[in-house]
Amino acid sequence: MSPAIAGFTMLAALFAFLALGTPIAFALGLVSMGALFTVYGVSFLETLGEQFFGYLSPFTLVSVPMFILMGAAVASSPAGKDLYVALDRWLNRVPGGLVLSNLGACSIFAALSGSSPATCAAIGKMGIPEMRQRGYPPEIAAGSIAAGGTLGILIPPSVTMIVYGIATETSIGRLFLAGLLPGLMLTVFFMAWTLYACKRQGLGLSELTERYSMRERFAALPRVLPFLAIIAGVLYVLYGGVATPSEASGIGAFFCLILVAVVYGIFSRSWKFSQMPEIFRDTLKESVMIMLIIGASELFAFALSSLFITQSIAQVIADLDVNRWVLMGVINLFLLVAGFFLPPVGVILMTAPILLPIVINAGFDPYWFAVILTINMEIGLITPPVGLNLYVINGIAPDISLAQVLRGSFPYVLCMVLGIVCLCIFPQIALFLPNLVSGVGG
């Protein structure tokens, strides 16, 4: 069987399993086992377990459940509500300030949780009803939260970036730094579009009549600032060389649990200690899911390599006699389509090891490419047929149809495309901080 036929067969089988509703980890595992059987026969079973669990042995993987625990602790508390209230009081004098407040809360909460669905759920439960009550159309209310939630996989600390670092053996600390400025850039783009759209439609003008004193504005900050301090602390110990990503994630998770218990459990009584088992349960479920996908995707990559599919794809792309930007355009299109059907973790684990040598050979920086790849995955989170954030929003606001959420989020997709263009023209947006910290010039 030629590599082309083998690759097509594996891809068709994978999509068949996914179409039947098979979880992606099991779909990848079953297709991989079938492919390995054709190469090695029954003997592949002798090393299957060793190979699968060998992929899960790196110590760096400890950071995945720790950052998930960090996000689960914050998501279990009213921290999202406090972020929303604090930003609303500071931005209420701006037309459309309520939508801007939600986007700002999404960007901060995304940094705390590292999860797009968690960000959508936490901010959307409060923000969407409040925006609709103040006269915002359902498209703007739902679309802004769906788009704002995507920032969770770009703004550090990001589980997606950790997975990319593990798959490509690149520095997780540098990946976090690479995603910081692009994440802030996308937040500014989202806010600029929102401000323009609200001003054009005359939305949010009633908010201008509401006034908060400086005392009321500052009163909303004490519950928010400790969590922002945790983000700053985690980034400092990572980039200052004080701790490894695994250690930094453990420190962040520990302090998030302590802060939630003290700020919301003891002082405000808005959080119960009985929620602690639920936090660990949710962390365990999501961590096991991601670990299964990591192990199965590595097995899938091993099967592709055993059938010489990976090498053949790399050679075909390398032999393309095209400008490197045309090549990057083809890769972006491929990632965009893959993101329509598969979750970000799955796409990264399956494609990054194949694409990275090609990208580096074409003269592109691997950390810059990580940001480009992640933004493509962000677009996939708010576009059908998978569009996880669309379904999260539809779940917390069932009276808003998926079509309305999609219409509201489409302008933000264009903002992300603009972000990719800006990164292509000005790659230093992603590379400035990593190069500054590591002492690399240019």
How does pLDDT run across 294-305, given as a tens digit for each residue?
888 778 877 877
Between CA 360 and CA 371 the distance in angstroms is 14
Instruction: Let me know: does 203 contact 96? Beta carbons within 8 Å.
Output: yes
pLDDT class for 442, splitting at 50, 70, 90? very low
Give residue-wise pLDDT tens across range 243-289: 777 888 888 888 888 888 888 888 777 788 888 899 899 888 888 88
CA quadruple 148, 150, 155, 158: dihedral, nearest 10: 140
Res 205: pLDDT = 55
State the pLDDT at residue 311.
Answer: 65
DSSP state of 243: S
Q: Are 183 and 409 in contact (CB under 8 A)?
A: no
| Average pLDDT for 174-190 | 92
User: 201-213 b/e with 16+ CB inside 10 Å = b?
Assistant: eebbeebeeeeee
Residue 283: CA atoms inside 13 Å, Cβ hemisphere, count? Answer: 25
Give me the pLDDT at residue 123, please.
81
User: In 3D, which of 192, 182, 193 has the Cα closest to residue 421?
Assistant: 182
pLDDT (average), residues 386-415? 86
- 80-115 CB burial, b ≥16 within 10 A, e <16: bbbbbbbbbbbbbebbbbbbbbbbbbbbbbbbbbbb
Position of tokens 């009163």?
A: 219
Structure tokens, 202: 């005359």
- Averaged pLDDT for residues 382-393: 81
Highest mean pLDDT of the ranges 114-118, 122-126, 153-157, 175-179:
175-179
How much of the chain, in percent, has pLDDT values that exceed 90?
Answer: 14
Q: What is the pLDDT of residues 55-81, one digit of tens each?
A: 777 777 788 888 888 878 887 888 777
